A and B are shown apart, each in its own frame.
Chain A
Amino acid sequence: MGWASSRMMETNPNSNLETYLSAGDSSADNPSLTVEGAIANLKQRKDLGQRYYAAWWLGRFRVREPEAIAALLEALEDETDRTPDGGYPLRRNAATALGKLGDRQVVPPLIKCLDCPDYYVRESAAQALERLGDPTAIPALRKLLDGGVQAARQFPGKPHLVQPYEAILEALGTLQAKDAIAAIEPFLEHFVEKVRYAAARAMYQLTGNPVYGERLVRALERDDLQLRRSALMDLGAIGYLPAAEAIADTLAENSLKLISLKGLLEKHLENQSPAAILSPESIRVMQLMDTLL
């Protein structure tokens, strides 16, 4: 497979929409860094741009070496790379990368990041904690919902809310935070649609009640393409099988529909005995996928 190996193997265990949408070919297919080079770039202090890129690169190529993890943990406390309004770009990339490496030792420092003054660091940390799947993160995530929907307002002068509610709700759902159900439920009525969908997604994961899956199915009919895309990713993540036809029919890119249907089928198969892998449901999903190629 010479022709194929010239392309860099790309894998992504997270079907997070933002990750997907920002995945460009140019940088991803340019493996100009080596593992040693990336770690060295992350450790040096002269070129902030190189540090920032190296942090992303180590996550992207799943470099799980202790030296890489140590350097990323150090980057989580970085004070040098600052945006004009006080953000910590390097910390954001480091948190995201640590989420991809699958080493749960980094959970406590990521939990600490949930208190970072930079909204985007908190968001990256919440997403990373969701990926790592460690329930010890639940209380700290749950705490960010304090004040409930009342407190979940727009941050004055910024294009975001006071907390990264979408990421928080999604993480609580994935981490099976059953104790947080009462805290999550009111967010089904939040004034931001994506937050409502994140709440529906979490409620489905925590209760298995199809009412919440159906909310996401209805989101596939919204006029806003971004909302439809987001619902596709949510339905794939929760594996809501009755959504299969609606997913195939919604107006969005076939690539996203295929990823969503893949999520549905994988979730369905988790609960099947090996003999029932080719159940009528899984055949139905594959037939839909075939038509979307």
Chain B
Amino acid sequence: MVIDEEVKSLIQAVDKADSAEGLLEAVKALVAVRHEAAIPTLIEVLGYNNPGAAVAAVEGLIDIGEAAVSHLLEKIDGYNYGARAWATRALAGIGDPRALDLLLDAASNDFSLSVRRAAAKGLGSIRWSNLPAEEVLPAQNKVLDTLLLVSQDVEWVVRYGAVVGLQSLSSATAKTLPHFEKQILARFEQMLEIEPELIVRVRVQLALQQIEEKTGRRGDGGKDNAGGKGEEGKGKDLYL
């Protein structure tokens, strides 16, 4: 690939940055050109232990999209935990089905709640059209099962992410798999009854309302279940 001189010099600026602020600015500038040649450099930034720059690099990789997926998957195994978490977040944001197994595992098993919540959201927005037709249904079944499980996570924010993921999945499968929506709505109704965190219940209500606006169907999400107070889940990990 021919790299424009401009991208080359932006990459060099990232390599040469000698302060946290400088690195952040350089990464932002590189991200802005949305050039595939920037991918390896952006992935490298994920390992620098600089949260600001990593956020910008993740956003840049998501922006570039599918072209970044194979690079990310290739690098991810040899990574330290922090960089791995960032890479998982980038893959969750891109939604390419090549990352599906990794996201399924991350959503339910990752040690970090910020990885679990990102993976949960990402599972809902997988680009199914990129998958061979015969693989779609088994994969969608796995995603549904995983998200239903993740909607019982111990951390409120992961359950919140699962609600967002389930809503997206419902919308992506509304035409092909009506029974998915039925299961998702049933789980949402159940969450309105038992979910201890107000904010998660309210997000469920929003999901129900938006699904209803789309389809005209609705469960019993209109009743007031949002009152009452639950305890707040505690965040454990930083920089994510």
Contact = CB atoms under 8 A, between A and B. Distances in A.
Secondary structure class of chain B's binding surface, majority of residues? helix
Interface stretch (A51-59, A104-112, A144-152, A257-265): A257-265
Contacts of A14: 232
A293 B199 contact: no
A262 B232 contact: yes
A20 B235 contact: yes
B224 A10 contact: no
A267 to B, nearest CB: 11
- Most chain A CB within 10 A, of B111, B113, B152, B202, is at B202
Interface residues of A, number: 40
B233 A255 contact: no
Interface string A226-266: 00000000000000000000000001011110110010011
Contact of B154 (A10, A255, A258, A277): A10
A288 interface: no
B198 A266 contact: yes
B236 A28 contact: yes
B205 to A, nearest CB: 6
B68 to A, nearest CB: 19
Interface string A20-51: 11011100100000000000000000000000
Contacts of A1: 149, 152
A13 B121 contact: no
B144 interface: no
B171 interface: no
B121 A290 contact: yes
Contact of B202 (A11, A251, A265): A265
Given A4-B153, A13-B231, A258-B157, A253 B226 contact: no
A275 B222 CA distance: 9
Given A1-B152, A255-B235, A265-B199, A289 B160 contact: yes
A258 B226 CA distance: 19
Interface residues on B, range: 35 or more
Interface stretch (A124-132, A155-163, A175-183, A278-286): A278-286
A63 interface: no
A11 B153 contact: no
A80 interface: no
B232 A253 contact: no
Contact of A11 (B118, B199, B232): B232
A293 B52 contact: no
B52 to A, nearest CB: 5
Contacts of A266: 198-199
Interface string A200-233: 0000000000000000000000000000000000
A4 B161 CA distance: 16
A104 to B, nearest CB: 17
A286 B233 contact: no
Contacts of B157: 255, 258, 293
10 contacts: A4-B152, A4-B153, A11-B233, A12-B233, A13-B231, A24-B236, A266-B199, A269-B226, A278-B206, A289-B203
Given A23-B235, A25-B111, A255-B113, 19 more contacts: A3-B149, A4-B153, A7-B154, A9-B154, A11-B231, A12-B231, A12-B233, A15-B232, A25-B236, A255-B237, A255-B240, A258-B157, A277-B202, A277-B226, A278-B202, A286-B202, A286-B203, A293-B117, A293-B121
